[in-house]
Amino acid sequence: MVAAKINLETGGGSHYSLLLYTTGLRGLDTDVAVYSLKRPSAATEEIFARAGVPLHRLDELDAAAQVDRLGKVRCDVLMADDPLPLAYHVKRAYPERCVVAHINTLSGFCTEPGHQQRGCWLTCSHWDRVRHHSGGPARRLKYLVTGSAAVADLADGFRSLDGCIFPSPQTADAYRVYGLDPARCFVVPECLDVDHITRFRAAPFASSDAPLTVLYVGTLAQYKGLSLLFDALRRLRRPWRARVYGDGEDRGRVLDFAREFPGQVDYRGHVTNRDLFAELHRGDFLFVHPCLWFEALGRGILEAMALGIPVLVPDVGGPSWSVTAGKTGLHYRHRDVADLARQIEWAAAHPTEVRTMAEAGREAARQYDYRPVSAQWRETLASIARGAHANAS
């Protein structure tokens, strides 16, 4: 079976996931090629070359040419990794092709006005889009009329696909607004290189006399909820520190917070996966995931669990599925800054219980190893291909 995957992202995390998927599939005698619609970084090209995975650049082609090029790729299944319109544009142009969308975002719940205006909040009903539109009455009315056609086209596009793959059941549930056929919806989670990550290990939680250190790793974007995390830290009644990794548009917020609390905030910037795990080795942290929108799964959460770092995540979306409250980590009420602060305080006051959760989380993370997950990918793609063939005949 030949499965061609298309990657839109330029971020290291998504490229790393894609590399693990393809490496695992190739280990199962499945040919995989990756087509990048945005210019990959030199580091990305290097890791793909080192892994022996073909990486074809399409960034110099316009949208129509990209559709034409991908429609002519020889493969049993053409899978688009996140670019939803691309998937169904290829299906419309080449209806005989088996086309699958890998939908690893729940951006429908994004709170950033700029994203809302660009229509990225895909999993809200159209009425909710209109009701929460950031423009005035006239712009909302225009959006109500013009948006209806766009939403109808989006729904038709979704339903034309041979399959949709989601990283968690919660993501799949959120897209029911488009009337997707449950028989064409599948769940395959994120994956990790467990052997590599577990070479490193965090120190037991609260094993030193140092103040509680809250850890954030991820994109520095408004929707990621750093404002929520920082407001929660301001409420803490005990000494604390924060270590932040990442870069992005919200970097200024991090720097302002560091100036507000001199000596308490350690901002490390962007660090590659290759170096990050070594930096976290033997560190004493509480990993907090403060995302404002509904995260589809959250790769950083799984990596923290694999390192033996206790995790605190919202009680919605993929994180609430991958982290079992009270067993492999802690939950807080989504977007509730007071509850987030309470849960951080509780963790600091109950180190024994939190250490037990961290150990259970480290063991639970093993199920996301790329080899068994890639086997799920292969089985799922083969099932979709069989279904497409049966429908065609």
Q: Give me 278's structure tokens.
A: 């070594």
Per-residue pLDDT of 83-113, as tens digits, reads 678 899 999 999 999 999 988 876 544 444 4
pLDDT (mean) for 57-82: 90
Higher-confidence residue of 78 and 16: namely 78
Helix boundaries (H) for the chain: 12-27, 42-51, 63-71, 84-93, 113-117, 126-131, 137-160, 169-174, 194-197, 226-235, 251-260, 273-280, 299-306, 317-322, 337-349, 351-364, 370-392
Per DSSP bridges, beta strands 311-314 and 286-288 are parallel
Question: Looking at the predicted structure, is the pLDDT value of residue 118 above 60?
Answer: no
Instruction: Give percent of the chain above pLDDT 90.
Output: 57
Give the pLDDT of residue 113.
44
As a whole number of angstroms, the distance between CA 32 and CA 96 comes to 20
Looking at the structure, give the CATH architecture of the domain made up of residues 194-368.
3-Layer(aba) Sandwich (3.40)
pLDDT (mean) for 314-335: 95
Q: What letter does residue 329 receive in the DSSP assignment? A: B
Give the pLDDT of residue 333.
95
Give the pLDDT of residue 9.
53
At residue 286 the predicted structure's pLDDT band, cuts being 50, 70 and 90, is: very high
pLDDT (mean) for 251-261: 97
Question: Looking at the predicted structure, is the pLDDT value of residue 225 above 50?
Answer: yes
Question: Looking at the predicted structure, is the pLDDT value of residue 141 above 80?
Answer: yes
With contact defined as beta carbons under 8 Å apart, do 167 and 344 qualify?
no
Per-residue pLDDT of 23-60, as tens digits, reads 899 889 888 889 988 888 787 888 888 888 888 999 89
Positive or negative, the CA dihedral 147, 151, 157, 161 is positive
Pick the closest to residue 336 from 256, 257, 225 (CA basis): 225
Higher-confidence residue of 35 and 223: namely 35
CATH superfamily, domain 2-191+370-392, is Glycogen Phosphorylase B; (3.40.50.2000)
CATH 3.40.50.2000 spans which residues of the chain? 2-191+370-392, 194-368
Q: SS3 for 48-117, per residue?
A: HHHHCCCEEECCCCCHHHHHHHHHCCCCCEEEEECCHHHHHHHHHHCCCCCEEEECCCCHHHCCCHHHHH
Q: 251: helix, coil or strand?
A: helix
pTM: 0.89
Q: 383: helix, coil or strand?
A: helix
As a whole number of angstroms, the distance between CA 90 and CA 326 comes to 45
At residue 328 the predicted structure's pLDDT band, cuts being 50, 70 and 90, is: very high
Give the pLDDT of residue 123.
65
Question: Looking at the predicted structure, is the pLDDT value of residue 198 above 60?
Answer: yes
Q: 194: helix, coil or strand?
A: helix
Question: Looking at the predicted structure, is the pLDDT value of residue 270 above 70?
Answer: yes
Q: What is the pLDDT of the chain when averaged over all its residues? A: 88
Instruction: Give percent of the chain above pLDDT 70.
Output: 92
pLDDT (mean) for 168-189: 90
Query: Which of 15-29, 245-259, 372-386 shows the lowest mean pLDDT across its residues?
Result: 15-29
Q: 5: helix, coil or strand?
A: strand
Higher-confidence residue of 68 and 40: namely 68
Question: Looking at the predicted structure, is the pLDDT value of residue 319 above 90?
Answer: yes
pLDDT (mean) for 346-358: 98
Per DSSP bridges, beta strands 330-332 and 185-187 are unpaired
